[in-house]
Amino acid sequence: MRWAEILVEVQAESCEAVTAILLEIGCKGVAQKLEPIAANGQWPVAEPHVPAARMPKPHEVTLLTGYLPVSDELGPAVDIARERLSRLAEYGLSAPESVTLRTVEDADWATEWKKHFKPLRIGKRLVIKPTWETWESAPGDVVVEIDPGMAFGTGGHGTTRLCLLLLDELVQPGWTVADIGTGSGILSLAAARLGASKVHATDIDLLPRKVSRQNVGASGLDSVVTVHEMADFDAAAVECNLVVANIIADAIIEIAPSVLPRLLPGGIFVSSGIIDDRVDDVVCALMSTGFQVVDVREDEAWRAVVARKPIVAD
Amino acid sequence: MAKKITAVVKLQINAGKATPAPPVGSTLGPYGINMMEFIKGYNEKTAAQVGSIIPVEITIYEDRTFTFVTKTPPAADLIKKAAGIAAGSGTPNTTKVGKLTSAQVRAIAETKMPDLNANDLEAAMRIIAGTARSMGVTIEA
């Protein structure tokens, strides 16, 4: 798909009005680059979450960029935007200094970050290797090869890292593992490489199911990892030693009652993708479902909860 | 751990519905950060506000990691809510669709003050009133 960028140079006092106009004509969002707070105009070395940028002052000129898909409706939409932008002075604001239209190709940014995705060691044994990179394994390395495409799961994110470290600690040879919200398939592949004899994976979205199947096939693990359609997963993923779900807090809370019967007595549920201020909600939901919560791991703002199905029901 | 900042960008996008399409991909892709990581984090953080535009300020570091904070809703959303309208006017010079009192303008200006970087509340109110008029919303004294 091709996209059109509408670049509007305008005094900052009109940013809110310009943004509203761009969104009203159908832009999927508006981007603005901010300036450093520092008087020298340089970006500083800073601790995460320490404010380093400032909004422009009302009469400073700033650049807003809106994006519209290129279609037959583009020309009329841009005409409407230009006409409305030119009238801003009538409402006590500044009219834009310039309005420029240019087209950009979708593929440019979809793959740009891959250039920077390098092999990544997680813990002592696991190595996450993009398919397009090379890696010389050391003895004991467990190499997981993936091409995440547009699916979530590169190993670089705290939620995925937490799951990988826990799988490395917990998975025993011969185990049956289920992976809910598999994304790129990274956790399923890691479980298989760590010795699981059967891994059942699924994802609510079609794209990750497709991407994870490709990664399973490329890794030669088709006999161990099966990426199921949602409906098939329910029947297949039973008598599991471990279930991992790297999704979000609300989804974990929702699926917890259905995870418990999938596990063998003493089986483990690793849930991740939980932002710090939701971890108590997840822990409460797991406990009320009948799990024993045995550990909570942290990685920056993210949390992973390790829960166990009681060996003997209360 | 302190890290060198490469850029700070502000995106105004739909809460809970971020995708790799523009402006997310086009803005973050060139910095080499994994946009899917941002998308997951943003959608999780804003899941309860689906249907609204929730601005987000993303700080990108030279090691291609990033942090983000969500900001106050756009002035247009606050204006529509205060005026009780679903949308602004497509022809605000001729068709008026709602009105705000100056007290409502003041309240919105106070909410938006951190993002407007105005020198004082009067200046912020002028920006909010102008934005409202550009949407076909009149201001009552």
| pLDDT digit string, tens, across residues B101-126 | 999 999 999 999 988 878 899 999 99
Question: Where do the domains of chain A lie?
Answer: 2-107, 145-308
Do the domains A2-107 and A145-308 sit in the same CATH topology, yes or no?
no
pLDDT band at B77 (very low <50, low <70, confident <90, very high): very high
List all residues of chain B from 42 to 81 with a beta carbon under 8 Å from chain A: 43-45, 47, 53, 57, 59, 61, 64, 67, 69, 74-76
Q: Please report the pLDDT score of residue B94 as a whole number.
A: 92
> Which of B10, B45, B118 lies at the smallest CB-CB distance from A58?
B118
In a mutational test of the A interface, the residue from B14, B17, B40 whose CB has the highest number of chain A CBs within 10 Å is B40
Class of domain A2-107: alpha beta
Whether residues A46 and B3 touch (CB distance < 8 A) is answered with yes
Q: Please report the pLDDT score of residue B115 as a whole number.
A: 84
Q: Please report the pLDDT score of residue A39 as a whole number.
A: 80
As a CATH number, domain A145-308 is 3.40.50.150
Residues of B in contact with A116 (CB under 8 A): 32-33, 64
Q: Please report the pLDDT score of residue A311 as a whole number.
A: 93
* Closest chain B residue to A300, measured at CA: B67
List, in order, residues 6 or more apart from B127 with CB less than 8 Å away: A13, A16, A58, A93, B75, B109, B112, B116, B118
Q: Please report the pLDDT score of residue A107 as a whole number.
A: 60
Ranges in chain A, pLDDT < 50: none
Q: Please report the pLDDT score of residue A151 as a whole number.
A: 60
Q: Please report the pLDDT score of residue B42 as a whole number.
A: 92
Q: Please report the pLDDT score of residue B86 as a whole number.
A: 92
